Amino acid sequence: MIQQSKSTIIGAVQFPVFTGERVYMRSCTKDLPADLSRWQPTVDQLLIDRPADTRIFLTLDQKVVPAGKTHRRPGAHIDGVWCNDAGGYVHKKKHCMGTSAREQTLVLASDVEGCVSLEGEYVWGGREFLGGSLSEDEIAGLQRVRMLPMVGYAGDASAWAHLPLVLPVETARTLIRINICEH
pTM for the model stands at 0.89
Per-residue confidence in pLDDT tens, the chain, 183 aa: 788 999 999 999 999 999 999 999 999 999 999 999 999 999 999 999 999 999 999 999 999 999 999 998 888 988 877 666 555 655 554 544 444 455 789 999 999 999 999 999 988 765 555 567 888 888 999 999 999 999 999 999 888 999 999 999 999 999 999 999 876
**Alpha-carbon span 96 to 100, nearest angstrom:** 7
Give the CATH architecture of domain 2-182: Sandwich (2.60)
Residue 160: name the closest of 83, 81, 99, 101 by CA.
81
